[in-house]
Structure 1
Amino acid sequence: MTVEQMSSPTVPALRSVGLVTGLALEAALVPAKASPRLIPLCAGPGPAAAARASWRLMERGCSVLVSFGTAGGLDPALPPGTLIIPEEIRLIGDQPPLPVDSTLRRRLLAACERAGLPVHAGPLVGSDLPLLSPAEKARVAQLSGAAAVDMESHRVAEIALDAGLPFLAVRVIADPADRSVPRWAMKGINEKGATVVAPILLALALAPWRLPALITLARSAARARHTLGRVACGPLLDLLGR
């Protein structure tokens, strides 16, 4: 049986779609007045926070869960800003992949095509820890065969599967496969997924030569957010029927 066969053969009425994000900036990309049925929620980065956000969204009556945000590139051919709507979520190890709802995915792909948004099919792999170096990314790419990695999608997919809800992942590459993410830069995000400036300013004050790396990271992140914003303002609304 394929992953798509495991997915829901029919799609329930989309009362509301819950978007689980790891960063507050990602949640803020969803226009507040776009639709009351498109509900973003950030509880922070990582699988535990993604689980909390998923449960809260289900308590609010969401009938679909979407993992929405950025990802780390594993395929060296994919630059920052690449949109990935995977056909499955893979796990590191011998565990079977987690399904993505095939019907909703087809509808979302069609909406992206109408919006002129190119999509890479994936797959995506979940990691409980951030992959910060090209060597770490290469190792996981070899183990999983995935195009990109993030820390939330696999947990959201597990919860949706247990709850019998459709699941989708919408991820955009922020840091490509051949680029390191400095540990000092990770301190710019707190446990709630909010941006904190003070640790970054301190890191630059202690080592001003870090500035070019920070600028590169910021530019790539901006490209990723631009793509995510386009998806939120168009295809995801089309999924709801506006």
Structure 2
Amino acid sequence: NAIAIASSVITYREGKIVNEVKANADAVQTFFLSPMSPENLGKLVSSDCVLVTQVDKEIVEAQTGGLFVDMESAGAVEVLEKAGVPWVALRVITDTSLVDLPLDFNQFAKVDGNPDLRKIVLHVLRHPRLIPALLSFGRKTRMSAIYLAFFLKRYFKHRFEPEEKA
């Protein structure tokens, strides 16, 4: 797991860059002044679909120069930009561009983009060989959430709690 901060967020839809919004430089800088600096700073690509294979990820990286990908940040950034609120996108990298995901989650997306868990479970029951890889992916995802919480706890403690006097 690695913490990554977006220098900008690229909205990527149907294989094309729609726009790119730069992060607030001051907000980004505060993370690098904390005791636990993030490991990566770069462009975040906010995609309209899950990038499943190494090839998918390489294509998007080549087109965008993006360092990491998610599906949520573009929407949040759009709202924050309209409201004039400074923002920073902080992510934990769970699956790198070098590995394929254990399942093409796009096949199981509902109209609103959320996964249809019932369909996923039925698919996995029909293909039990997927279970070990999905369990491993689930553990990585859980560890990523714990790592992000630890990072943010340290960051906010350093940023907002007064220093103890010796």
Distance 1:237 1:152 in 2: 26
Cα drift, residue 139 of structure 1: 1.1
Q: Is the 8 A contact 2:9 2:21 kept in 1?
A: yes
Between 140-149 and 119-128, the greater mean CA deviation after superposition: 119-128
Cα drift, residue 105 of structure 1: 1.3
Aligned AA (1:156): A
Cα drift, residue 237 of structure 1: 4.9
Cα drift, residue 186 of structure 1: 7.5
Q: Is the 8 A contact 1:85 1:170 kept in 2?
A: yes
- The reply to whether residue 216 of structure 1 matches residue 139 of structure 2 is no
Distance 1:149 1:88 in 2: 12
Match of 1:170 in 2: 90
- The reply to whether residue 160 of structure 1 matches residue 83 of structure 2 is no
Superposed, which structure 2 residues align to 1:1-242 within 5 Å? 81-92=1-12, 93=16, 96-111=19-34, 114-115=35-36, 117-181=37-101, 182-183=103-104, 187=108, 196=117, 199-239=119-159, 241-242=160-161
- RMSD, matched Cα: 3.0
Distance 2:57 2:47 in 1: 11
SS state of the match for residue 126, structure 1? strand
Cα drift, residue 222 of structure 1: 2.6
TM-aligned CA distance change 1:154 to 1:171, over 3 Å: same
Aligned AA (2:30): R
SS state of the match for residue 176, structure 1? coil
When the two structures are superposed, what TM-score results if normalisation uses the length of structure 2?
A: 0.77
Q: Percent identity?
A: 21
TM-aligned CA distance change 1:235 to 1:101, over 3 Å: same
Aligned AA (1:84): A
Cα drift, residue 123 of structure 1: 1.6
Q: Is the 8 A contact 1:82 1:120 kept in 2?
A: yes
When the two structures are superposed, what TM-score results if normalisation uses the length of structure 1?
A: 0.55
Cα drift, residue 134 of structure 1: 1.8
